[in-house]
A and B are shown apart, each in its own frame.
Chain A
Amino acid sequence: MADDLNKDPKFDIWTTYQALLVNKELSTPLAAILALTELVERSDAGTMFELVKALNDGARVLSQRSPNPVSLNAGCELFIAFVTLFPHDSDSFSNLKTELVKQGRKYATEALTYREKIAEIALGFIKDDSIILTHSYSRVVMKTLLRAHERKRISVYVTEARPRGLGLRTFDELTAAGIPCTIVLDSAVSYVMDKVDFVLVGSEAVVESGGLINAVGSNQIAIIAKAANIPFYALAESYKFHRLFPLSQYDLPTHNPNILAFPLPSSSAPQNNNPSIRTSDENKLMHEPPRTMTHEQIACHPDVDYTRPDLITLVFSDVGSLTPEGVSQYLVGMFAG
C-alpha cells in the first residue's frame, strides 16, 4: 500500500514538473522545488527519514528524465537540504509537512523577485553608452538589459548560440524593445570583443569552485574576454548555486564518453555525402545555402560547458555581487553549517 502511494507521487512528479514549466517565468530549479513541494504535500511518509528518502527518489526521477539536469539538481538539493535542516519543533509530523509546503511555496514566490534584485545590482555596473556582449538567451539577462534600457543607452551584441539558435530569440526581443542589437556568429566573438565594454551572461548553475555552467560557448567567450581584458559578469539567482566541483570540462555530470568522441573505424557510414540539412529557417540572414552539420553530428555535442573561476570577474546574485571565491564561501556557509 505504501508502494502505491509512493508510485503516485512519482508519476505526479514529472507531469507536475512539466505543468509548472509551462509558466515561462519559472526556471527549472524553481519548478523542481515546487514539484518537490507537491510531493511533500501528497506524501504519506511518517518520519523525516522516509520523507527525505521520497524526496531523493523524486529528485532522481526528475534528473533522469530531464535532458539538462544541472540546474534542476541545484534546486532539488537546495530544497532537500532545507527540509533536512528545518527545525522539528512541531508536535505532529503532518504539521511539519504543512509547514514545509508553505515554506516551499513562499520561497518560490519570493524567488520570482530575484531577477529584479539582480537587475538592480547589475545596473550599477552598466554605464551609459555601454556595448554589451551576451550569449544565447537568458531571462535574467533579458530583464537586466530591459531595465538598463529604461534609464541608459546600451547596445547589445548577442551570439547566435548554435545549435539551438536561442541568440536569435534574444535578438528579436531586444529589437522589439528598441535596443540596438546585432547578432554575431559564434566564431566572430573575438572579432567584436575589442569593441565590447563587458560581457554579461546568464547561468545554468554556479558551482562550488566559483565557476559557471552555462550554454555551450560561454567558456570560449570567457577565455576571449580574459585575453582582451574585458570584464565577464555572470548573473545567477541564489538557487542556482550548486555544490558540484568540476575539475575540468569532462568532470561535468552532463559529460559522457560519446560527446565529441571520434567515430570507430568500423561504423563509418559516409556521413559526408549526406545532403546538408538546414538547421532551421530562422537563418534569414544567410543568402547562399550554407552547409551545416547533420542532426547526428549535432547530437554529439554538449549542451553546457564549464567556465573556470579565474575567467569570471563577478557573479551577480540576489545575495549581492560576489567574486568567484565568494561564491564558494557562501555555499560553504549555506550547506556545511
Chain B
Amino acid sequence: MAPVKVFGPAMSTNMARVLVCLEEVGAEYEVVDVDFDAGEHKRPEHLARNPFGQTPAFQDGELMLFESRAISRYVLRKYKTEGVNLLREDNLQESALVDVWLDVEAHQYNPAISPVIYQHYLIPMRGGTPDQKLISESIEKMKKLLDVYEARLSNFKYLAGDFVSLADLSHFPYTYRMRHCLIPIQVSRRGGRA
C-alpha cells in the first residue's frame, strides 16, 4: 500500500492536526510541501486537491480530501483497530460526545486561541507588530472557555469521557504553540491537560 500524502507546510497548525492522527494510528505517510510564498496554493495543481486553495490537502490513492478535521476522521476510520478507536463510532453516546467536543474545539477554542498564535508568531515573521489589544481580548475569551474545560476535566480524564479521542487530539496543534508563547497565561493552573 502506498503511503498517503499530506500536502502543506509541515509546520502549519492545521497540518499538525492530521499528522498527529496519522502518528496515532501508525500509518505510513509523506508530507509534500506547498510553497505559500511562491503562490503554489493558488496554482491549478493544488486547486485540484483543494478548490479553496488552502492546506492541508490529502491523497489516498485516487481519493483527494481537504479540511483537516474531515481528513483526520477519514484517517481514524480507515486505520481504526481494537486498540486505537479515537472516533468511537460503534457507540452512539460516545461518538456524540467526541463530536460535541470536536465542535467546541472548532467553533469556540480555535477562534479564541488562533488570534493569539497568529499575532504572536506570524505577524512578527512578516515584519509586523502584534496587536496587543486583540491578544488581550482573545486571552479573556480563553479564560472563560478554560473555566468550562476545567469543570469538564475535573469530572473526566479526557474531553469526551474517560477515553482519549479526536476531540482531545484536535486541540494539540494550537495549544502546543500557545505553551511556547511568551505570554503569561495560567495554563498550568488548569492542569495543562491539553
Judge: A and B partners, yes or no: no
Q: List residues of chain A with CB under 8 Å of any chain B CB.
A: none
Q: List residues of chain B with CB under 8 Å of any chain A CB.
A: none
